[in-house]
Structure 1
Amino acid sequence: MVIRPLRPGDSLEALTALLHAAYASLAAQGWNFTAVDQSVDVTRERLKGAQGFVAELNGRFVGTIAIRGPKPAGEAYIADPPPALYTTPGTAILSQLAVHPDCRGLGLGERLMDAAEAWAREQGFKHVALDTAEPAEALRRRYERRGYAEVGRVQWQGKTYASVLMRKRVGGGSPE
């Protein structure tokens, strides 16, 4: 298994299919995460300005993650204005973490997060931020074990759940 940056020629259709497979168990719990049924065009839009990473096994995508710098205040985050955390200078935004159900339990999610956090550090970001469904306790605990702390909440338009905003320090400089 190899984790590598997403390349321009990589199939966004295959990446979108991976997202659908990985998020199906969350959909079954009633949580309509964007990645549950996003189109290839939405995948493309969510990757705009981001560094995507993929985990490949025998030529097949089995994991992915995306990370990018802060959003400009006027730029939409999917369909909503971004929360202040996502426009804060020095803060990278983590999204679309997905591991194919056949590959869960192998530490792949941790390796993908390591790659994204390393990229953020190398780019000079001080923090990495993310959001996840408030009722998704297992996901929240996973992020907390990695050093993420809850710093706020957001209600995304059309979602069946409220989300928690989480942040982790990854870079140097004075602590905040």
Structure 2
Amino acid sequence: MIIRPSVPEDAGTVIPLLYSAIGSIAFLLTGTSEPETALSAMKEWYQRSGNRLSYANVLVAENEGKPVGAALFYHGSQIAELDRPLLERLAAKNGSAPSSFPVEAKKNEFYLDSLAVSPECQGRGIGSLLMKAFEAEGKRRGYERVALIVSSDKPRAKKLYSDQGYAVDEQLEIAGASYDHMVKQL
């Protein structure tokens, strides 16, 4: 098992994993309620730099040459810049768009947007390896605080994060779902 930076060619494997992790947030980001259309738009954004869904913000867990897990992250202070291309596309496509997406990350935290492991590889510690790699990247960049959100209906994921030292500091409502915002000091 290796953890490596993602490349645009990972889109076909990584995007379905990230889609499964973010649920209805995918529809919010892509402006559609159709799963196939959302997946297609996410793949397109993944292959570009300078946006929230970019491969440049992803670490991949690879086993036998195949991506089996991914961690998507960015600093909270960058979110307006990273969301701008998505919002502009929504405005062009629909004639209007929100001025911003719901705020998940605070400006003072290195934020784990999504963590996903393929179903056949879950329970093997890959999620923990990706968490450690995410935190190491935060330290390497000089950040002191990391954060994430977890859906209230995903107790296994919440336990993984709690076991890694994350604690709930607030609850959020995003795209009609309830989430716990969890933080950890590095």
- 2:103 maps to a residue whose letter is P
Distance in structure 1 (CA, Å) of the matches to 2:60 and 2:124: 15
TM-score by length of 2: 0.71
Deviation at 1:74, TM superposition (A): 4.9
In the other structure, the counterpart of 2:59 is 53
Please, what is the CA RMSD of the aligned residues?
2.8
More helix per residue: 1 or 2?
Answer: 2
Q: In 2 relative to 1, CA 2–148 (structure 1 residues): closer, same or farther, beyond 3 Å? A: same
CA distance in 1, matches of 2:178, 2:63: 34
Tell me how far apart the structure 2 counterparts of residues 15 and 49 of structure 1 sit (CA, whole Å): 9
> 1:4: which partner in 2?
4
For 2:143, give the aligned amino acid: F
CA contact (8 A) 2:6 2:55 kept: no
- Partners of 1:87 and 1:49 lie apart in 2 by 22
CA distance in 2, matches of 1:137, 1:147: 15
Q: Which runs of 4+ in 1 moved over 3 A?
A: 31-38, 71-79
- State the percentage of identical aligned residues: 27
State the AA in 2 paired with 1:59.
Answer: G
Q: Where does structure 1 lack aligned partners over 5 or more consecutive residues?
A: 171-176
Any gaps of 5 or more consecutive residues in structure 2?
A: 28-34, 87-99
Number of equivalent positions: 156
- Name the CA shift for 1:50/1:148 in 2 (closer, same or farther; >3 Å): farther
Which runs of structure 2 are paired with 1:96-135 in the superposition (5 Å)? 96-135=114-153
- Asked if residue 162 in structure 1 is aligned to residue 178 in structure 2, the reply is yes
Deviations 1:138-175 (A, max 9, x none): 22122111111101111112x3x3111010011xxxxx
Query: Aligned in 2, Cα 1:73/1:4: closer, same or farther, shift over 3 Å?
Result: closer
Return the match for 2:106 from 82, 87, 92. Answer: 87
- Give the partner amino acid of 1:67: F
